[in-house]
Structure 1
Amino acid sequence: MKKLTLEILAKMAGVGVATVDRVLNERGGVSPETARKVLEAARKANLRRVLPEAYQRPWQIELLLSGNNAFFFKKLARDFSEVADAVGYQRVCLHRTLIPESQPERLARHLIDCIESRDGIIVFAHDYGPVRDALALCQARGVPVVTIATDLPDAGRLCHVGIDQYQAGRTAGLLMSRATPQAGEAIVVSGRFDYRAHRQRVAGFRDALQQRAPQLRLREVLAGQDQRQTIRKLLDQSLGRAGHIVGLYNTGLGNTEISDVLMQHQLSGRCTYITHELYSVTRRLLQQDILSFTLDQNAAQHAQLAIGILLRHLDTGWQPDVYEAGKVAFNLITAENLA
């Protein structure tokens, strides 16, 4: 193709020559609307070459994640972007919005706003009335919703993608019972009690400890509320009371603060310490033999399953099993299998 032809097509489409080249040679990096303009211009000009297949509108997917600063959500956002890029801009257009977990009304309004402009929604949300009402409206208007990480059992959703949080808690309890043969007490540091995932983790841990660890007594569950200074204060107060602490399970964030307090009370490396997610802090604590185990939620599999399930449903009408289709296998990480 002559350079002049590229210039003519670029002028007809109202874009640059490089953009025309990317579209005609399918190199990517061009928005669907721009690609459509270039192909229409090429056909009008009777360009004598095989053109890319006729453009079809990509599915418009809204991704709603927590706006807090937790590692899991940062990793999840990156993994969703990578999966969408691999699928291709001609098949899916991913729109990402971050909303603080403390603003369920804002999340509900955004869900309703998405009904007219999105083909499907992937959302991390907690069980609040306005959110349930918004999801019910999405369902009534035919917009499929996939929940991720924490489920909303009474809400209208196509499928849930995530680990079994109760099973994760039970696994932590089993690990605690096997790694801590001596008699003593264990402490749980919990995230917000109004969050279903944390309640399930605590319940699973408590049940497993009662059934498998007669030598261990659960002293208390500290309501850290995902506030780092609250976690530090409550744990310091608990460890300052008389007793023999041999284990600690953290269901959420605050591992830096927890490890600091354990060190202050000379328990660092001397009690079984279990938490969630593999990131820079937990990796360092594992390497230093301060942290015994971490249960990683496998963010990449969340992204792969959520987008895959939603696209299959939109393409074919397939109805997934609410839990089985989106079940994610969490990873057990120790100091010996760090990647």
Structure 2
Amino acid sequence: MKKVTLEMLAMKAGVGIATVDRVLNERGGVKPETVRKVLNAARKAGLQRLLPEEASQPWKIEVFLSSQESFFFRQLAKEFAAVADTLGYKKITLYRTLVPESSPEKLAKKIIESSTQRDGIVVFGHDYPVIHEALAHCKIKGIPVITLATDIPDAERLCHVGIDQQQAGATAGLLMSKTTPGEGDVILVSGRMDFRAHTQRVAGFRDVLQQRSPQLHLRSVLAGQDEKQRIRSLLNNTLRTAKNVVGIYNTGTGNSDIADILKQHQLAGECTYITHELYSVTKQLLLDDVLDFTLDQNAQQHAALALNIMLRHLEQGFVPDVYQDGKVALKITTAETLG
């Protein structure tokens, strides 16, 4: 009798070889109707082995996040767990893995490993060749990937979930323009300039400020690199020489340090201050009239959208628009809206 192979069963069931392997080895994450097709094909072909039950298994989803100790990533990890709990253990098994942003090779390796064990991957990563290669590997293996918070353009991903980062910077520029009277200098403190989200925020802010407020002079960008001491040193040195600072925009972390330096130079509450993320520090700065606006990315919506789109794709074959279906709304907060 001719040997029954995975390739043979895949052809009979009209599915991929990887799907047949998942069904026969009970690795989960396959639609019930597809499980039935594969098992029926195996029975008809006379496969000589104990076949699994047709009960569906929970989808195995792995989320890769930055291990950076910032509010946004801590909150993201919590929100993914909360959404998974709401869906229930019979629907989804969630794995959360934290990887340093400065280790793209490590992240790429973990993504490739995950593609052999999971049904879907959600990843926060940056635009490095090794990450592109890892996502291309997932595409070949048939494992969908959703990028999160910062996009990886032209990579093999199902879609992107997050705010429009350039639009966020442009919004900050518009707020600065509308609320800062008179002429003066504006200081921009950036996170890591080798990260796409920060370069997009900077570009959006600069473009709007130049178009709408030529009387506001944007000084050289202070590349704080999300390092507290570096931010303090750069800002302190700049304020020693600047004569008329009327605004400051921070694209990354270090808000408490920036507030301290502004107080030392008697600028707290005297210049327009705009930053990102609403958390305990920025809430207090808003209430203390040191900070004027926060632009929040809404971690909960990131988690809910990413898992919802992934499940719709796995269960129904839904193919999302790369950007529109995963677009997260930016939330602007002031002291008055804190309630």
**Fold match (TM-score > 0.5):** yes
SS at match of 1:160: strand
C-alpha distance in 2 between matches for 1:283 and 1:145: 34
Shift of 1:338: 1.0
Matched, 1:149 2:153: no
C-alpha distance in 2 between matches for 1:216 and 1:140: 50
Q: Which residue matches 2:85?
A: 85
SS at match of 2:219: strand
Q: Which residue matches 1:47?
A: none
Shift of 1:311: 0.3
Residues 44-83 of structure 1 mapped to structure 2, 5 A cutoff: 55-83=55-83
Structure 1 counterpart of 2:182, one-letter code: Q
Shift of 1:55: 4.3
C-alpha distance in 1 between matches for 2:107 and 2:299: 22
SS at match of 1:90: coil
Residues 143-182 of structure 1 mapped to structure 2, 5 A cutoff: 143-182=143-182
Q: Over residues 192-235 of structure 1, what are the superposed CA-to-partner deviations in whole Å (9 max), with x where a residue is unaligned?
A: 01100000000000001011112201012100011110000000
* Contact residue 55 and residue 90 of structure 1 kept, 8 A: no
Q: Which residue matches 2:12?
A: none
Structure 1 counterpart of 2:303, one-letter code: A
C-alpha distance in 2 between matches for 1:55 and 1:282: 48
Q: Which residue matches 1:305?
A: 305
C-alpha distance in 1 between matches for 2:93 and 2:293: 38
Structure 2 counterpart of 1:334, one-letter code: T
Q: Say if 1:74 and 1:242 are closer, same or farther in 2 by CA, change over 3 A.
A: closer
Q: Which residue matches 2:101?
A: 101
Matched, 1:191 2:200: no
Q: Over residues 168-211 of structure 1, what are the superposed CA-to-partner deviations in whole Å (9 max), with x where a residue is unaligned?
A: 00000000001101110101000001100000000000001011
Q: Which residue matches 1:38?
A: none
Q: Which residue matches 1:207?
A: 207
Shift of 1:293: 0.2
Q: Which residue matches 2:249?
A: 249
* Contact residue 125 and residue 150 of structure 1 kept, 8 A: yes
Q: Over residues 292-314 of structure 1, what are the superposed CA-to-partner deviations in whole Å (9 max), with x where a residue is unaligned?
A: 00000011000010000000000
| CA RMSD across the alignment | 1.0
Q: Which residue matches 1:259?
A: 259
C-alpha distance in 2 between matches for 1:332 and 1:56: 42
Shift of 1:242: 3.6
The percent of aligned pairs where both chains have the same amino acid is: 61
Residues 279-290 of structure 1 mapped to structure 2, 5 A cutoff: 279-290=279-290
* Contact residue 187 and residue 247 of structure 1 kept, 8 A: yes
Query: TM-score with structure 2 length normalisation?
Result: 0.83
Structure 1 counterpart of 2:110, one-letter code: H
Q: Which runs of 4+ in 1 moved over 2 A?
A: none
C-alpha distance in 2 between matches for 1:228 and 1:257: 7
> 5+ residue gaps in structure 1?
1-31, 33-53
Task: Tell me the matched-pair count.
Answer: 287
C-alpha distance in 1 between matches for 2:242 and 2:274: 22
> 5+ residue gaps in structure 2?
1-27, 29-53
C-alpha distance in 2 between matches for 1:334 and 1:115: 43
C-alpha distance in 1 between matches for 2:338 and 2:300: 17
